[in-house]
Amino acid sequence: MEGRLLAGRYRLESVVGRGAMGTVWRARDETLGRDVAIKEVVLPDGLSDEERANRHRRTLREARASAALSHPGVVTVHDVVDEDDRPWIVMELVRARSLQEILDEGGPLPPARAAEIGRQIAGALRAAHAMGVLHRDVKPANVLVAEDDRAVLTDFGIAQLAGDATLTGTGLLIGSPAYMAPERVNGDPAIPASDMWALGATLYAATEGRAPHHRGDAVAVLAAIVTKDVPPPRNAGPLAPVLAGLLERDPARRLTGDRAEEALKAVASGRTADGLVPGADTTTGTTAGTAPAGAGAGSVPAAHPAQPVPPYAATPYAATPHPPPGPVPGTTAQYPPSAAPEPPGEEGRARSVVVPILAGAAVAAVILAVAGVLLWPDGSSGGGEGPQAKPTTVAKQSTPGPGDTPTSPGTEPASAEPASTGDPDGTLPAGLVPARGPGFTIGVPRGWKRSARGASVFWTDPASSAYVQVDGTPWSGDPYEHWLVWERQAAADGRLKDFERLSITRTRVGDEPAADIEFTWTRSDGLTRARDRGVIAGGRSYAVVVALPAARWNENEALVKNVLDTFRPSGVG
């Protein structure tokens, strides 16, 4: 194989590493005269021809998406070659050792150095998540550290496009058991928070010398992840609260990429993470078992003072209720929603599902433990295309939808009820009444009907196609950048007919940065206009939409503003 010329330009020189997912070669790009690294992707044995073809196409598709990432903490993907019936990923050649090699040779790192490495990797993950790419296998072996302590995250070639279920095939879940998040071990799809858990486990290993739930075999590791608390770190010092925030069992309360990056920067510079990790006790390195600090009801004030306005002026001729919008395939932040936080007293019941899951994984773990990679058959939960595959709409952000498709079987709204009436505090603008959903409160027009579907709660006007929607599908990153990516994907997808962006503006929800995207699209009853506010608060991400018939927008613009400004993350649910 040495000396082989790929695609007429890449000369393979020597093997620099092998793993369960393939072989990494040092090669020479003879066209540009530079050294590169080339990963020869090896597909799992035992797949049918159709499954292999699907995996092959998906690997190429995901690698091309990874090539769009541009961040100093990401190994640059230069090219993807399809040759010899297998994919070859051409990457930047980084002259560095892996973090795993550094730990094996020199032992645990000081907290400040581990934090500096973690800061760079958190930034890389944040950039990837903003592009809709999940890594799924963050671990010390995939973190390269150069002599100047530049840290880069490699192996994005096995990353997953968030929400992509079209080429899943067998629904195999790939990753290293010791660094898998609890929700993934429980069979749920990967989300951005899963990568953040893996970063926490990687940094835990950097200071403690081994992964948080180190055990003798893969099955024992998986059982410990879902049933045992993370042992308190002994050597992490000021890094301990950040580790606790990253290794939070509930993904909805786990540190997000931007907060983790800020907290790690503080520790790396010799400061503490005080005030940067919600609910953290900096003396013990643990997080409180309550809602994140500052996320209590009413703790986030409105972005602007509310202006009293008359109730929504409904279009007189729109007498038939319009069905609430459905999910939009192909939009950004289509990360599969995580499981709802466990209600008090149900921890034991929730954990009881581990037994059959682990039993089903035992055979695979025995076969693959030597390779250190677990291929988890999660059936249709991966969104495969087989005859038993479940609908993939739960993996799509519902912000917003065409609104022209009736509710499909299995996705019926919760019993439609009018929004709460009355405002005992008298704090909402005229025409609005208080309403509540999972983790938030909001003011909605009086008389609008409440329903729920997937990760979204809707309030629809019985007399027109207008609606308010709060979507809780997880996403991460800067809200403004989030909408830029969303806009490109929504326009390319075509489900929002005649989509046209009007503006994207930065705003705030209390102390949290937020952004509004305003746009129009055509529904069955004509042109619709919407304003969609994205914000991450209290460890949760939200998209708050107000949509009206475009012809009625100007006379109701103050109402749109009031509804958005009354949105409060409450830390409840």
- Concerning whether 148 is annotated as a catalytic residue, the answer is no
| Amino acid at position 311, single letter | P
Say which residue, 94 or 307, is predicted with more confidence: 94
Q: Is the per-residue pLDDT at 197 higher than 70?
A: yes
69, 98, 50: which is closest to 206 by C-alpha? 98
Angle at 353 between CA 360 and CA 175, to 5 degrees: 55
What average pLDDT is seen over the chain? Answer: 72
Percent of the chain whose pLDDT exceeds 90: 35
User: Mean pLDDT, to the nearest integer, of 235-254?
Assistant: 93
Most confident of 138-142, 301-305, 405-409: 138-142
Range with top average pLDDT, 171-185, 232-246, 359-373, 426-440: 232-246
pLDDT band at 46 (very low <50, low <70, confident <90, very high): confident
How is residue 364 written in tokens?
């695979």
Question: Which residues touch 193 (CB under 8 Å, ≥6 apart)?
Answer: 181, 183, 251, 252, 254, 256, 338, 474, 476
With residue 101 as reference, give the H or E element that holds it. helix 99-106
pLDDT value of residue 129 = 87
pLDDT digits (tens, 9 = 90+) for 420-450: 333 334 478 888 999 988 889 999 999 999 9
Annotated binding residues for ATP, written as ranges, equal 39
Query: CB-based burial of residue 474 (10 Å sphere; 0-12 exposed, 13-18 middle, 19+ buried)?
Result: buried
Q: Which pLDDT score, from 0 to 100, does residue 389 have?
A: 30
Threshold 0.75, pTM exceeds: no
Q: What is the pLDDT of residue 392?
A: 25
pLDDT in tens, 260-311: 999 999 999 999 887 778 655 444 444 443 333 233 322 233 333 344 444 5
Among 38-42, 186-190, 395-399, the least confident range: 395-399
Q: What is the pLDDT of residues 509-552, one digit of tens each?
A: 988 899 999 999 998 888 999 999 999 987 789 999 999 999 89
Active-site residue among 35, 82, 104, 137? Answer: 137
Q: Does residue 281 come out as left (phi exceeding 0), alpha (psi in the -120 to 50 range) or beta?
A: beta
Answer yes or no: is pLDDT of 418 > 90: no
Task: Give the per-residue pLDDT at 566.
Answer: 94
Q: pLDDT band for 33, please (50, 70, 90 cuts).
A: very high
Burial 197-235 (b: 16+ CB within 10 A, else e): bbbbbbbbbbbbeebbbebeebbebbbbbbeeebeebeb
Domains for the chain: give ranges and CATH numbers: 5-92 (3.30.200.20), 398-405+413-569 (3.40.1000.10)
